[in-house]
Amino acid sequence: MATASSALRTYDHIHVAGLAVQAVAGPDLWQQPAPQHCAFTLDVPTDFAAAAATDDLAHSLNYATLCRQLAQLARTRPNWGSLHTLAAAAHADLACRYAAVLPRPAEMQLELRSADAHLRSRDVAWRLGGRGLLSPGLGGSATPHVFHVGSLELYACIGVFQFEREAKQRVSLDIDVQWPVSTDSNVSPPLPVRRVLDDVVRYVEASDFYTVEALVESVAKVVQQCLPVLPVAVEVRVAKLSAITDTQGVGVSCLRTGEQLEQLPPVALTPEHSLTTSKSTQESTVPSAGDAGATAYLAFGSNVGDRLSYIRKALDLLNDTANITVTAVSSLFESEPMYFKDQRPFLNGCIRVTTTLTPPELLTLCKRIEYTDLQRTKDFDNGPRCIDLDIILYTDAQGTPAVCNTPDLTVPHPRMLERTFVLEPLCELLPPTAPHPLTAEPLAAHLQQLYDRGDPADTLWRLLPVPAVAPGKDTKTNTNAEPRFLRFRTSHGPGEQPLGRASGPAHIMAVMNATPDSFSDGDPSGHTDTAQLLARVERECAGVLHLYDTVIVDVGGCSTRPGSPQPTAEEELARVLPVLRAIRASTALDQERVVLSVDTYRASVARAALENGCDIINDVSGGQFDEGIWAAVAEHPYAAYVLSHTRGTIASMNQCADYALDEEYRPTDPVSGTEYTDHVGAERCDPADKARTLVRTVACEMAQRYSALLHSDVRRWQVVLDPGLGFAKDLRSNVQMLRDLGVFRNYSCTLASDDDFVSFRNLPVLAGPSRKKFIGTITGEEDPARRDFATGAVVTAAIGYGADIVRVHNAVECAKAAAIADAMYK
C-alpha cells in the first residue's frame, strides 16, 4: 500500500473517549475523601501513515495500551488531592512516555471529568493541552490548563417580563477558566473549585437580573474574585432553559481576559439588589441630583369621575413644578381594566418630561400629585383610581438610560412590555428604532409582539374629546360634565413590519355651507335661510344616525374653493353663528350624538364658534392663513382641530401643485438644509422609492406644521389630519394621495432642526373628496352637484385605504357607501 504524501497529508489523531476510572481526587460532592466517578478523554496528534500503509500496529500508538496506562496511573495514589493534580500527572506521564514518537506533544489534549465533584453539576473537569480560551499570541499558554464546569443548574430571577420577575426560572451555566501554568514545573497554583462554584451559586440565586448579558459578566467577575491569582481568561455561558418553549435553551456567552476582569468593579456576593445591566453597579445607572436635561417618560391613567379633567390637572401640576417641563403628550386611549374587572374603563396615555429630578425624586413628586394634590384613594391594588402616574423610562442628559431596581421603584417599568395601553402611546413619542434599555429590542417590536398574540383586548380605542353638551358648562374647562369622545381604532396585523390600518367604524362629516358661493351647494341669491339649513341638518343627521352612533356637521361660512373671493370675518360670523345656535337649540336632534364643526381658517371665527357650541375647528389652511387660530384652539383643550395640508393661498394654491413626482425625495429642514429621517411604520424611507414621493412630501410638510401646532400648546389628543384633497393638488396627486392614505397614517419623521420626533401613528385621518374637481375630470361630469354617486365610490375607496372620517355633501347616501366600506374592509 502506498504511503500518502506528507506534503498533502494532515496530522492524524488517536482518540479515547470517556475512559471510566475511580479515584479519590479531593473532596467529593459531600465533602468526603471518597472515590469519584471520573472519565479520561484523550486526543493525541500522531502520524500513522506507516501503519496505514502497512496495516501494522507497530507503526502507531496502541489505544488499548494508552487506556491501561491511564487506569494504572489513577490507582497509584490513595488520594490525589484534586482533580487537577491527577489530570496534570496523566498528561505529563503520557507526554514523557511518547515524546519520541509524538510529532506535536504540546497539542496532546487530555480531559479528566468528575461526576461527583459538586452537588450542582455532574460535569467538573480539567482540560490540559490542545487549545485554550486564548491563543498564545493573545496571552494564552502553549500548553494551557483549562478548568471547566458544565450544566451548573441554578434557579434565578432573570428577565424583563413581569412573569419572569414573579418566579425564578431554571438556568444552566458553563464556566471555563484558563489557569496560569508554571513554566518550570508545569504545575499550577491550586484553584479553589468548591469556593468558586459555591460563590457562583450563592450569588446568582440571590440576585435579580434583567438580562443574561449582565449575568454572564457578573459571574465572570465573581469567579475572578475567588481566585488566588489572576486567571488568563474566564468564559461564561448561560442558557435559559424555559424561555422559548420550542428550544432546549437560549442564552449568551462572554469571554473576558484577566486584565478585563481587573477593570470591572468588585461584585458583592450577597447583594440586596444585583446588577441589572452590563454596567457595574445599580447606582451607576441612576443619575445624580441636578442632572439637567434628563428625560423621563410617564404613563398616566384614570377611571374615576371626569377622567380627562384629572389627567389635565396632573399635567398642569407637573408643568407647574419648577424642575419639570412637559414636552410631549400622547393620544388618549381607552382600555379595559386588567385585573379587577368590575370597574370603569381607563383613560390612558404617556407624556415626556425634561427634569432635573432623579428617578426616586420624580417618584416622590408623582405620589404627591396622586395622593395629596388630587386626593387619590386606594382601597385595594389594581382598583379604581382618579389618577395614576408611573415612571416608564428615564434617560440622563447624555441619553444613557437609567436602570433602577429597589423595593419602591423599578425603571424601566417591569410591566410595560405586557401592556399595549403603555406601549402604544409610548411609541407615539419615540422613533420606531428606539430600543428598550434592557432587551435592546425596539419598543415598537415589543408592541407588535403583543398584537401578534391576536388578543382583541390589546387593540385600543383612540379617543378624540369633544365638549359635553350639558347646559351651564364652561366651554374652556368643560366644568360640570365629562367630555364626549369620538372613538377610533387602529389594528396591527401579524408580520414583521405591518402597517396600522383603520379598523373602527367610519365617521361621517356632513357639509353644511351657509355661503352664497360654495362651489356645489351655495345659495347664489346671497340669502341663507337659517330655518332651511336647520331643516336640512335635521334631515341629514337622521339619515346618518340610522347607521352610525354619531354624526359631525361641518358648518362653513367662507368658501375655500381655489380662487374664490373671501368674505370679511364679520360676514363669516354672521353666517355661521346663527346656524350653530339653531342646531344646538333644536329639540329634534339628539344633541349627544351630534358633533358640530366649523370650517374656518380665522382665529376670531374659531374663538366665537367654540364659545357657541362648536366642537371641532376644521382649518383648511393648517394654520398658515391666520397664525392666531392655534392659540384659539389651545384655549379649548376639549375641542378638536383638523390640521389640513395646502400650499400657497386660496388664490394661488392651484399654482403650487408640483410635487416632482418622478424625482427622488429627501426631506430637509427649510432653514438648515439638514436631511430628516423618516419612516413608514418601522421601515426607513428610501429616497429612491419614487412611488412614495408624493405621500412623503405631503406628510413631511404636515409634520412640520404639526410640530409647530404642538409648540403652540394644542394637545395631540385634539388633532385630526387632513391630507387636503383638492388643495394644491392635481388629478394625479389627488388619486395617488387617496391610494397612499395607509402610508400617510403610518408616517413618522425626526425633524433635524430641534431633534423633534413627529409620528402620525393613531391620529385620525379625514378625507374630503366630495364633489371635487378631480372626480368630475375622471367621470366627465362638469356639474359638481351631480357628482354624488361617484363621490360614494371614492368614499368607499377612501375608507378602504385608511380614512377615519369622510367629509361629504350628500351625507345620507354617502353614509350608506361608508357602511358598505366598513363591512368590506374592517
295 with 436, same domain? yes
- The strand order across the sheet containing 805-808 reads 719-722, 640-644, 616-619, 594-599, 551-556, 507-513, 805-808, 766-767
Contact present, 794 and 775 (Cβ < 8 Å): yes
Mean pLDDT is highest, among 221-235, 526-540, 561-575, 689-703, for 689-703
* Other beta carbons less than 10 A from residue 449's beta carbon: 13
Task: From 285, 314, 336, give the residue that closes a domain.
Answer: 285
pLDDT category, 140, cuts 50, 70, 90? low
Range of 39's domain?
Answer: 1-120
Q: Is residue 569 part of a domain?
A: yes
Is the pLDDT score of 183 beyond 70?
no
Mean per-residue pLDDT, 611-619: 97
% residues pLDDT > 90 (the chain): 63
Question: Residue 722 pairs with which residues in a beta bridge?
Answer: 644
278 with 319, same domain? no
Q: Which residues, other chains included, contact 45 with Cβ-Cβ below 8 Å and sequence gap of 6+?
A: 11, 12, 13, 102, 103, 104, 107, 108
Mean per-residue pLDDT, 414-421: 90
Query: What pLDDT, on a 0 to 100 scale, did the predictor assign at position 476?
Result: 61
637 with 680, same domain? yes
Beta strand 719-722 pairing with 640-644: parallel
704 with 757, same domain? yes
Is the pLDDT score of 185 beyond 90?
no
Give the number of C-alpha atoms closer than 13 A to the C-alpha of residue 235, restricted to the C-beta side.
16
% residues pLDDT > 70 (the chain): 87
551 with 689, same domain? yes
> How far apart (Å, rounded) are the C-alpha atoms in residues 630 and 818?
31
> How far apart (Å, rounded) are the C-alpha atoms in residues 175 and 147?
8
Is the pLDDT score of 251 beyond 90?
no
Q: Is residue 471 part of a domain?
A: no
412 with 556, same domain? no
Query: In the chain, what is the straight-line distance between the N-terminal and C-terminal CA atoms, in Å?
Result: 78
511 with 451, same domain? no
Of all helices (H) and strands (E), which one includes residue 513? strand 507-513
pLDDT category, 728, cuts 50, 70, 90? very high
Mean per-residue pLDDT, 83-101: 87
452 with 580, same domain? no
What letter would DSSP give residue 369?
I
Q: Is residue 381 part of a domain?
A: yes
Task: From 81, 96, 120, give the residue that closes a domain.
Answer: 120
Task: From 67, 90, 120, give the residue that closes a domain.
Answer: 120
pLDDT tens digit sequence for 56-66:
666 567 878 88
644 with 747, same domain? yes
Q: What is the four-CA torsion angle of 453, 457, 460, 465, rounded to 10 degrees? A: 180
Q: Is residue 482 part of a domain?
A: no
> How far apart (Å, rounded) are the C-alpha atoms in residues 392 and 395?
11
The cell numbers describing 305, all together, are: 369621575
Q: Is residue 492 part of a domain?
A: no
Is the pLDDT score of 139 beyond 60?
no
Q: Is residue 486 part of a domain?
A: no
267 with 304, same domain? no
Contact present, 760 and 746 (Cβ < 8 Å): yes
SS3 label, residue 233: strand
The cell numbers describing 548, all together, are: 352610525
Query: What pLDDT, on a 0 to 100 scale, did the predictor assign at position 190?
Result: 84
109 with 172, same domain? no
pLDDT tens digit sequence for 706-724:
999 999 999 999 999 999 9
What letter would DSSP give residue 106?
G
Question: Residue 121 pairs with which residues in a beta bridge?
Answer: 118
Query: What pLDDT, on a 0 to 100 scale, did the predictor assign at position 468?
Result: 92
> How far apart (Å, rounded) are the C-alpha atoms in residues 650 and 602?
13
* Other beta carbons less than 10 A from residue 469's beta carbon: 19
Q: Is residue 485 part of a domain?
A: no
SS3 label, residue 91: helix
524 with 578, same domain? yes
Burial class (CB in 10 A: 0-12, 13-18, 19+), 354: middle
Residue, of 369 and 496, whose pLDDT is higher: 369
* CATH number for 632: 3.20.20.20
Is the pLDDT score of 180 beyond 60?
yes
Q: What is the mean pLDDT of the chain?
A: 87
* CATH number for 233: 3.30.1130.10
Contact present, 544 and 551 (Cβ < 8 Å): yes
Q: Is residue 466 part of a domain?
A: no
What is the CA angle 22-24-30, rounded to 5?
105
Per-residue buried b or exposed e for 693-717, using 16+ beta carbons within 10 Å of the residue's own CB = bbbbbbbbbbbbbbbbbbeeebbbb
Query: What pLDDT, on a 0 to 100 scale, did the predictor assign at position 470?
Result: 64
Burial class (CB in 10 A: 0-12, 13-18, 19+), 673: exposed
* Other beta carbons less than 10 A from residue 521's beta carbon: 17
Specify the long-range contacts of residues 131-136, CB closer than 8 Å, at least 24 apart: 132/178, 132/232, 132/233, 133/176, 133/178, 133/232, 133/233, 133/234, 133/235, 133/255, 134/178, 134/232, 134/233, 134/257
Report the domain count for the chain. Answer: 4
Mean per-residue pLDDT, 674-688: 93
